Amino acid sequence: MDKGIADGFAFVIQNHGPKSISREPGSSLGYNGIPHGVVAIEFDNWKNTPYNDPVYDHVSIQIPDTNGFLSCEHSTNSLGLFKSNFKNGNINNCKIVYNRKDSEISIFLTINNDNDLPLIEKIENCKIPFDFPLCGYMGFTGSCGDLFQTTTIYTCSIKAKVDTLEGIQMDLDSLEI
Ligand SMILES: [Ca+2]
């Protein structure tokens, strides 16, 4: 991601359709309100009071509301988050691991700061209160409002142990964020 101002992007899993995206600009990060949602991992670098965003840039695990719509709301729909420095103009690397057996998600984000050793930011073993569906759509969404920035996804690879259904591992490599 470049050092532009707002708003961020998300890695989204949903069961609505291959072209499903939020129609709200800016704060929705392109996913807020998508029906039949499963989970969104948001990389959010703009504080939006209506969604109770924390005051700092963050990575958060967001689940749908009670009607199944993916939600940016943090007070009711965030399972966990961590403060992040991903908006640095460098290529950073992220790994997201979902373990079906324990219904847990972990996120490992390697931040490549100039002139510094890589910084590892993470949240581990965050409990998901439902089983992931056995099929769905994965993709990236993003949005801007009046302020702009550029996010580039260089590579994304997914590894899944679909034979046992005990674990699904997703590796998202080399995200320029
Ligand atoms: Ca925001």
Q: Which residues are 11's β-sheet partners?
A: 41, 140
Q: Where are the domains of the chain?
A: 8-143
Beta strands in 15-144 (DSSP E): 37-44, 58-62, 78-83, 91-99, 104-111, 119-127, 137-143
CA of 171 to the centre of ligand 1 (A): 24
Specify the pLDDT at position 135: 87
- Whole-number pLDDT of residue 60: 98
Q: How far is the CA of 14 from the centre of ligand 1 (A)?
A: 20
Please tell me the class of the 8-143 domain.
Answer: mainly beta
User: Tokens representing 168?
Assistant: 């699904």
What pLDDT does residue 177 have? Answer: 47
CA–centroid distance, residue 8 to ligand 1 (Å): 7
| pLDDT of res. 64 | 98
Q: Mean pLDDT, consecutive 10-residue segments, the chain of 177 residues?
A: 88 96 93 97 96 97 98 97 92 90 91 80 94 90 92 88 54 50
Sheet harboring 58-62: ordered strands across?
78-83, 58-62, 37-44, 8-14, 137-143
- At 171 the pLDDT is 52
Which protein residues have their CB within 5 A of the ion that is ligand 1?
27, 44, 46, 48, 53
Query: 146: CA distance to ligand 1 center in Å?
Result: 13
Ligand 1 centre distance from Cα of residue 1 (Å): 15
CA 61 to chain centroid, in Å, comes to: 6
